[in-house]
Structure 1
Amino acid sequence: MQIKKVAVFSTKPYDQRFLEAANHDGRVELNFFETRLRQHTVKLCDGYDAVSCFVNDIVDRSVIEQLAAFGVKMIALRCAGFNNVDMEAANEFGIRVCNVPSYSPESVAEHALAMMFALNRKITRANVRVKEHNFDLEGLLGFNFAKATIGIIGTGKIGVATLRALKGLGCELLCYDPYPSKEAAELAEYTDLDTIYARSDVISLHCPLTDDTYHLIDKTSIGKMKDNVMLINTSRGGLVNAQDALDGMKSGKVGYLGLDVYELEGDLFFRDLSGRVPNDDVFALLLSYPNVLVTGHQGYFTKEALEQIASTTLHNLESYFQGKSSGNELK
């Protein structure tokens, strides 16, 4: 059988290492492009049987039309979210789209907790002080999680992993999801969003980006929250209106903000932009606040997660080439 060719976009050296390890017997031919897939780079797909994309590739209708014209009939996403893909257009042009629905949910959950603890105990600020031989504790006061109420929005695999990790701390756990899970119900109290906003000292987002969740955190929802609330987003950037979060920090409503994702991260994350001035005033202001912690979409970034992403991506591709279902097809 002729080996099928796959164009792999948005690849870094670590992506290539893990994908090549998963494809150790050369079942498919993987060709790696560091560039992102979008309208002006889709021409690179000519001659390929399938493409593999990541979170900041833009697979809109114009890209899908061109993929179809090249004969590409398979898009293998290396992530769980698919808000960057025009699914209606993919269906119209008969292009199969598969994702990686689960890749070590503990990786993202643990990163969310790391952000919570670092913000609460001012770890980054304390580290800078000590390196300067300043051992004063003023300004580093935190609070006990054992006495806190934490609200988890979204109780899929990552939300449940976050609840499980928090359970041992002794805090009160609230959660919300339009599709409740039995496992989450055994760990936390299901309630509505307004109750989570009103009662939570910490709110952590673990839901997909949809029309219903776009800018879930905005000036209206922030206005319903406790003063000095901690907000954590390790899910999708579009869940949080960054300007409204910034305004909430200025007013004292938002006391801590942890972001591993950002709505306009496509032009920022997964790139070395040191020495450049960000062309985003809101983002630049957020970075200047001492009670803001930003990481560059690294919540998933563990050995276990990268191995799972690579193996599932290869499984999705091979299943398609063999005329089978992988079980990860998106509708």
Structure 2
Amino acid sequence: MKIAVFSARPYDRRSLDACNQQGYAADGFEFIYFDATLDAHTAALAQDCDAVCVFVNDRLDAPVLQALHALGVRAVVLRCAGFNNVDLAAAEQLGFFVARVPAYSPEAVAEHTLALIMTLNRQTHRAYNRVREGNFMLDGLLGRTLHGKTVGIVGTGKIGLATARILHGMGCTVLGHDPYPSPEFDALGSTVPLDELLARSDIVSLHCPLTTQTQHMIDEASLARMKPGAMLVNTSRGGLVDTDAVIRALKSHHLGHLAIDVYEQESALFFQDRSGEIIDDDVFQRLMTFPNVLVTGHQGFFTAEALQEIAETTLGNLVHFAAGSECPNRVTKA
């Protein structure tokens, strides 16, 4: 079986090849790697392949799925948990097998969330640059003790739970909100309505899937309900946040800090070296002018352990597709 791997970076190649050679050599999987993202212009690269393996910024709308189907592709395996980039209705109509990696080292994303919070709160990124220049002044680096602060976790699934455990262990009061509450969260904090969470939290951390219901859940109205000076953290999906509204909240000083590992228009920026180019995204560039904003390039998942889990689950999903067996990670429209 041939699999076209799109948005393939060197670390994807290493982890998939190692997993394929170590545990799936008898299954006859052959990976063909492409740096390009999958869209209507690049779908033809999957010629003669049985499946495509894609990531968060690959586009699988109806026209792309139709093009893949015409080439003989019959499976889409995602190297991620989110599947908002797949038109599931079109995939179902065309008979595609679609599977994802529902959970890979939730601690990896949770720990990156903490890294963003700690870095922005204690301004260690600015301190690092100062010390390298021989400036040991502390003015402008004042942070706040996290112990005793209230942190709101929006989305108490596996990653939200892992984040809550860390912050609970640091002595924070943890609030949670999720339309499908987790009993495990009860040992870590209190489940409250979203409005109450926003009003009480010193830090709000997002851990939700991107759906029509959660698109721009953080908008002008929800930002206004947040505690003045609070920190907003998003390591989930960029579309959860209305970036224009966030910029206005930062300008008015109502929002105290912003830390993001994801961005709504990230597909044109992230996972690429744009250091020698002019970035023509005016909204992103405006964000970067704020000293109280910290941005990383969707690296929350990026640990050796998570890459291994992604590869193993992806290969396992392909085994189910090849065998025509029931796959626990299959995604359907329902």
TM-score, reference length from structure 2: 0.97
**Which position in structure 1 is the counterpart of 2:171?**
170
Inter-partner Cα distance in structure 1 for 2:138 and 2:26: 57
Aligned to 2:13, which of 11, 16, 38? 16
Give the drift of 1:32.
0.5
Query: C-alpha separation between the residues in 2 aligned to 1:228 and 1:249?
Result: 9
Residue of structure 2 in register with 1:230 after alignment: 231
Q: What residue number does 1:159 align with?
A: 160
Task: Note the residue ranges of structure 1 that are not aligned, 5 or more in a row.
Answer: none
Aligned pairs for 1:278-293 (under 5 A) are 278-293=279-294
Secondary structure of 1:118 counterpart: helix
Distance 2:284 2:49 in 1: 37
In 2, Cα distance between equivalents of 1:196 and 1:73: 44
Equivalent pair of 1:155/1:177 in contact (CA under 8 Å): yes
Superposed CA deviations along residues 288-317 of structure 1, whole A, max 9, x for unmatched, are 211111000000000000000001001101
Task: Give the CA RMSD over aligned residues.
Answer: 0.8
Q: Give SS of 1:288's match.
A: coil
- 1:50 is matched with 51
The residue aligned with 1:312 is: 313
Output the CA distance in 2 between the equivalents of 1:149 and 1:141. Answer: 19
Tell me, in whole angstroms, the C-alpha distance in 1 between the residues paired with 2:233 and 2:45: 37
Q: Is 1:153–1:204's contact at 8 Å kept on the other side of the alignment?
A: yes
Q: In the TM superposition, what is the alpha-carbon distance from 1:26 to its structure 2 partner?
A: 6.2
* Deviates most, 136-145 or 96-105: 136-145
Tell me the alpha carbon deviations over residues 17-54 of structure 1, each in whole angstroms, 9 at most, x when there is no partner: 00001100263011111101000100111211111000
Q: Percent identity?
A: 52
Alignment check: 8 A CA contact 1:19 1:310 kept: yes
Alignment partner, residue 241 of structure 1: 242
Equivalent-residue separation in structure 1 for 2:45 and 2:278 (angstroms): 30
Moved over 6 A (4+): none
Q: CA deviation at 1:131?
A: 1.0
Deviates more, 1:75-84 or 1:287-296: 287-296
Letter in 2 for 1:39: A
Matched residue of 1:330: which SS? coil
- The total of aligned residue pairs comes to 328
Distance 2:208 2:108 in 1: 15
In 2, Cα distance between equivalents of 1:29 and 1:228:
52
Letter in 2 for 1:9: F
Partner SS, residue 320 of structure 2: helix
Distance (whole Å) between structure 1 residues aligned to residue 170 and residue 11 of structure 2: 34
Provide the C-alpha distance between the structure 2 equivalents of 1:139 and 1:55, rounded to a whole number of angstroms.
Answer: 37
The SS at the match of 2:52 is: strand
Q: Partner amino acid for 1:233?
A: N
Match of 1:179 in 2: 180
User: Counterparts of 2:163 and 2:44 in 1: how far apart (Å)?
Assistant: 41
Query: For 1:117 and 1:134, how far apart are their aligned partners in 2?
Result: 21
Residue 30 (structure 2) pairs with residue 29 (structure 1): yes
Counterpart AA for 1:159: G
Unaligned runs of 5+ in 2: none
Q: CA deviation at 1:261?
A: 0.2
Partner of 2:303: 302
Q: Structure 1-normalised TM-score?
A: 0.98
The one-letter amino acid of 1:221's match is S
What secondary structure does 1:178 align onto?
coil
Structure 1 CA distance, aligned partners of 2:30 and 2:126? 47
AA matched with 1:144: T
Amino acid at match of 1:169: M
Q: How does 1:126-145 map to 2 (within 5 A)?
A: 126-145=127-146
Is 1:125–1:290's contact at 8 Å kept on the other side of the alignment?
no
